[in-house]
Copies of this chain bind each other. A is one copy, B any other.
Amino acid sequence: MTIVQIYTKYATIYSITNKQIKYLTALRNKKYRQQHGVFLLEGSKIVSELLHSELKIEKVYAVAEWAAQYHSLLQKKGCSFEVINNKTLKRISQLTTPHQVVATAEIPQHAIAPKTLAKNYHLALDRVQDPSNLGAIIRTADWCGINHIFCSPNCVDAYNFKVVQASMGSVLRVKVHYCPLETLFKENAGCAVYGALLDGKNLFSVDFKAEKKGFILLGNESKGIQRSLLPYVDVPITIPKKGGAESLNVAIAAGIICAVANLQ
């Protein structure tokens, strides 16, 4: 018998318990994720990236074909895993078209080595609410080599399922921190704060290679950066405008600024 056949047979006989399904469903809630320190991931690509990451995996729930394909890696990682049938996958999946595998992993606690922040550019996000936006920002930061994102406590949770999926796995690499931004800026006075504002310096006139590194600060989707943070902004920057739109989507603005600041 091949591994697929064994796994398929196993999945037809055994099934995960209702208690497990309840647990997985509860993790869709931020409260439960924080209580258990665990978050959900779905889909072959993201879960295979999880297997290659340093994050501590709690459990993998996969259909026979996937479990057989990743058999050695699962064994090597000493991963707790459960083979499930498609019916069970549908019950635990949050996707309209489930992709073979669901996993739970520990929410990482990222430490920051002291005095390292002044050497690079990082993102600071004030009250970003939309999961797709935060996901896209994490993915973009990952592309641009920006390793830390500091979110104000009232930003959407980075381990929200929609954020995780929109990040396309980048949430496994980029270090997302939640902290009051005032405190962050005060404690890192050696870092410059570049604030994305509507009346700042033309982004393309800033020589990011020569300038002091630090935080690229972006604000809420409709309200922008809150007033109390403005005194910390050292360099107000603006993406110049040629057309009629009133504003840019925050993830697009983040993409343009990160690329210009860190990729040139």
Contact = CB atoms under 8 A, between A and B. Distances in A.
Interface string A164-185: 0000111001100000000000
Interface in A11-57: none
Contact of A132 (B132, B139, B243, B255): B132
A250 to B, nearest CB: 10
Contact of A243 (B136, B144, B249): B144
Interface string A206-246: 00000000000000000000000000000000011111111
A173 B263 contact: no
- Which of A132, A141, A146, A263 has the largest count of B CB atoms less than 10 A from its CB? A263
Contacts of A132: 132
A248 B251 CA distance: 11
Given A255-B256, A256-B256, A263 B242 contact: yes
A142 interface: yes
A132 B264 CA distance: 28
A155 interface: no
A145 interface: yes
A245 B204 contact: no
B256 A259 contact: yes
A247 B168 CA distance: 9
A245 B170 contact: yes
A225 to B, nearest CB: 18
A84 B262 CA distance: 51
Contacts of A173: 243-245
A140 B259 contact: no
B144 A249 contact: no
Interface in A177-207: 204
Q: Report which residue of A246, A256, A260, A264 has the largest number of chain B beta carbons within 10 angstroms of its beta carbon.
A: A256
A143 interface: yes
Given A139-B245, A240-B263, A259-B260, 11 more contacts: A136-B249, A136-B251, A139-B248, A142-B245, A143-B247, A144-B241, A145-B242, A168-B247, A242-B263, A251-B251, A256-B259
Interface of A: 132, 136, 139-147, 168-170, 173-174, 204, 239-249, 251-253, 255-256, 259-260, 262-264
Q: Which 9 A-B pairs have the closest CB atoms?
A: A145-B242, A252-B255, A142-B245, A143-B245, A145-B243, A256-B259, A142-B243, A173-B244, A204-B264
6 contacts: A140-B248, A170-B244, A240-B263, A242-B262, A253-B255, A256-B259
